[in-house]
Structure 1
Amino acid sequence: MSAGSEERVGFFTDTSVCIGCKACEVACKEWNAIPEDGLSLSGMSYDNTQALGASTWRHVAFIEQPRPEGRTELPLTEPASANGPRHGDGGPAGDMRWLMSSDVCKHCTHAACLDVCPTGSLFRTEFGTVVVQEDICNGCGYCVPACPYGVIEQRPDDGRAFKCTLCYDRLGAGQEPACAKACPTESIRFGPLDELRERAALRVDQLHKEGVTEARLYGHDPDNGVGGDGAFFLLLDRPEVYGLPPDPVVTTRDLPTMWKHAGAAALSLLGGLALSFALPGRGRR
């Protein structure tokens, strides 16, 4: 960020308190006037949006998995009756748990989508976030494979790319993003990125002391493969379980080296051509 710009802000999503209510998805769609992306049931889980996309800028994942051994089991319903075991009895339902997480564009420090955009449609805001200007996007699609998280998508009707803007218009008016405003459990926290990282570290320490040893942060490290994410997470399992890459790397990392090698190859080719013209001339003398 340049001198005189605003303090960098972002999201910290604490999945340990996400209840899967999807209020963030609804608030995002309503504020940004995002078109609906299908109301049919997927048949796979309660997660019907399934992934981030051009018309899904916030996505609440529902992950059902066996309950880890050693975790405290709470009696979620009344004791077992003659009809069979209940959720908390250690029966089939009691052996499962839900992991829920509201995913979003990571607003990377080193954003490959910015590197490959030929029109300047993608730009870095004064808040350190990454935004697509839809009126400048030409639909080339270069940003789609460039994103290491698979966030950006093109709308099929006109080919333009869309993703989360971190409610750039609300930030300019001194308001927090719509998703964070709507979250009833404060699973989605918005604020200065440095403060969020400190808060997240304290939260992980707290969970570890309470016996939730699998709690970990994802995307918070400024030394990771994308220079740190502007939207990072507290997870209760490995990133792959949530559909996140375990070690994301900016896809344009090797571009400077590639251009250097290409330049050297071009110079060698030009030198060879010049030499091939010079040698016949010497023979005629």
Structure 2
Amino acid sequence: MGFFTDTSVCIGCKACEVACKEWNGVPADGLDLLGLSFDNTGQLDANSWRHVAFIEQAKPDGDMRWLMASDVCKHCTDAACLDVCPTGSLMRTEFDTVIVQADICNGCGYCVSACPYGVIDRREGDGRAWKCTLCYDRIGDGLMPACATACPTESIQYGPLDELRERAQARLEALDEPQARLYGHDPADGVGGQGAFFLLLDEPEVYGLPPAPVATTRDLPQMWKRAGLAALTMAAAVAVSFMGRRK
């Protein structure tokens, strides 16, 4: 299960942000416009599990274009945060989503640096890692996530990923936007496909998204293999040296 966010119909109402906070008991961000249009959250963090970005673009004809997009944890197939967690706090659910079990998080922060999207954050005064759970408690009861339920334009769509990918492809083909593209829908990408993907109207960098994200732990097996071979070589060299000294 996952999210398809169609940014072409996002109106920036922030209903998803509010619904997420209310349902999950996420602390308020306060009224801070940050000098970035109407964006009072700025980015995803421990207290913002949904972030509605407001982007102003000047067109060649002098007009302005607003790009709005509700960002969220990507629930990666190849989840680096999951790989580095030493306590098992990060867990993949039966819905193939990734959640943090706060009761066993030790606040080490390994997951924070491992996330290629900068999604995970530790809460000030708490120390533990927090992020979107895709409303694990709601979907377990057959309900939609709070953000998708609250979205008035159906910009945020929830359902089986295969169905969402087909729907997204059809929407892209029907949309008369030369710069429109799907982001994170391809299982062959650097994170094995995102559990939350997007239809964007411009390049990913415009929305603050990495253009070619890669699971930061993808080379770990090869690194461990090389480390093991190096250790064996060193042990063999020590043994040969020891035997030489005995002779």
Which SS does the other structure have where 1:28 is aligned? helix
Alignment of 1:124-163 (within 5 A): 124-163=92-131
Identity rate of aligned residues, in percent?
A: 73
Ranges in structure 1 where 5+ consecutive residues have no aligned partner: 1-8, 70-89
Which of 82, 103, 115 is residue 114 of structure 1 equivalent to? 82
Residue of structure 2 equivalent to 1:37: 29
Specify the SS of the correspondent of 1:275.
helix
Find the aligned partners of 1:237 and 1:40 in 2 and give their Cα distance: 27
Deviation at 1:50, TM superposition (A): 0.5
Question: Per the alignment, in what secondary structure is the counterpart of residue 55 of structure 2?
Answer: strand
Residue aligning to 1:217: 182
Q: Who is 1:72 aligned against?
A: none
Counterpart selection for 2:167 from 199, 210, 225: 199
TM-score (norm. length: structure 2): 0.98
Q: Deviations over 1:145-195 (max 9, x none)?
A: 100000000012121000000000001111000000000000000000000
Q: Look up the equivalent residue of 1:178 and give its one-letter code.
A: A
What secondary structure, in the 3-state scheme, does the structure 2 residue paired with 1:26 have? helix
Where does residue 97 of structure 1 map in the other structure?
65
Larger radius of gyration: 1
Shift of 1:38: 2.6
Partner residue in 1 for 2:9: 17
SS at the partner of 1:248? coil
2:187 corresponds to 1:184? no
Tell me by how many angstroms 1:40 deviates: 2.3
Question: What is the root-mean-square deviation of aligned Cα atoms in Å?
Answer: 0.9
Structure 2 CA distance for aligned equivalents of residues 151 and 171 of structure 1: 21
Question: Tell me, which stretches of 5 or more residues in structure 2 are unaligned?
Answer: none
The corresponding residue for 1:234 is 199
Equivalent residue pairs, number: 247
Aligned to 2:231: 266
Deviation of the 1:42 alpha carbon: 1.3
Q: Which residue of 2 aligns with 1:84?
A: none
Distance of 1:130 and 1:250 partners within structure 2: 14
